[in-house]
Structure 1
Amino acid sequence: VKVPEPFAWNESFATSYKNIDLEHRTLFNGLFALSEFNTRDQLLACKEVFVMHFRDEQGQMEKANYEHFEEHRGIHEGFLEKMGHWKAPVAQKDIKFGMEWLVNHIPTEDFKYKGKL
């Protein structure tokens, strides 16, 4: 999936779950803000929205007994581990990785739970 220019959520990333879509918007906004204002505070804010979203999304999956929950959680943990190594100012290659990861994760992994949560 191509990284949108400008980097922003759009309807092609809609999961049909309003709360998840709203949180996905915050992930896009967090990475965009980090690319524009590459500061320690922005990095911490970006990490926080990812942690909160993953917790919320995984909670919905667990509650629904989603069959791919463990695998999905592992993918989230892998991303957070990579993000945990980022230091401000974050290297552009890392921000690009985060953007590419997000735009690919939603349609390839999150779309698997459409209609199942």
Structure 2
Amino acid sequence: MEPVKWDESISVGVEALDSDHRRLVGMINKLAEALDAGESDKVLLNLLNGMKNYAIEHFSREESYMLFIKYPGLKAHKEQHARFVRKVIGFEADYKRDRALLGQTIMPFLMEWLIGHIMESDKKYCAYIPK
């Protein structure tokens, strides 16, 4: 599976949030590597759960920042985050029923969602960042 690539075009211009985004990219890539290496279900579920928990921490930081800069799209953005968390929780249950879903459905979703979310949703609050 091709790794997710981080580059500066993905940056939102807030180092703490960019650092979180880089770490999430790394966690998704580590999960993909573990899947490709045939790691055990326990290892894969621990990696998926760890990524979900870190995403929740990041979402809290990001939402606090959006509140601080008075971003008017905060409510809709928070709902995107909540939908993502619900989806990943569902993936954990799906994976326990069918391991093949990790490579077929879950990994492509995680890879596409993260970069798409940053580029399409997170970039919107950049206009509200104080100069």
State the TM bucket, normalised to the shorter chain: 0.7 to 0.9
Following TM superposition, by how much is the alpha carbon of 1:34 offset from its aligned partner in structure 2, in angstroms?
Answer: 1.1
Match in the other structure for 2:40: none
Residues 55-94 of structure 1 aligned to structure 2 (within 5 Å): 55-87=60-92, 88=95, 89=99, 91-92=102-103, 93-94=105-106
Is the partner of 1:114 in helix, strand or coil?
helix
Inter-partner Cα distance in structure 1 for 2:106 and 2:119:
21
Which of 3, 8, 14 does residue 11 from structure 2 map onto? 14
- 2:72 equivalent to 1:37: no
Identity of aligned pairs, percent? Answer: 28
Equivalents in 2 of 1:33, 1:51: separation in Å?
A: 18
Q: How big is the alpha-carbon RMSD for the aligned residues of Structure 1 and Structure 2?
A: 1.5
How far has the Cα of 1:36 moved from its partner?
1.5
- Provide Cα deviations, 1:42-99, integer angstroms capped at 9, x if missing partner: 1121111111110100011112221000000001111111011122556211111111
Using CA pairs below 8 Å that are at least 6 residues apart, which structure has the higher relative contact order? 1
Larger radius of gyration: 2
TM-score calculated relative to the size of structure 2: 0.79
Where structure 2 has 5 or more consecutive residues not aligned to the other structure, the ranges are 36-43
Whether contact under 8 Å (1:13, 1:106) holds in the other structure is yes
- State whether residues 3 and 32 of structure 2, in contact with CA within 8 Å, keep that contact through their aligned partners in structure 1: no
Q: Which residue identity does 1:19 align to in structure 2?
A: A
Q: Structure 1 CA distance, aligned partners of 2:90 and 2:4?
A: 22
Q: Which runs of 4+ in 1 moved over 4 A?
A: none
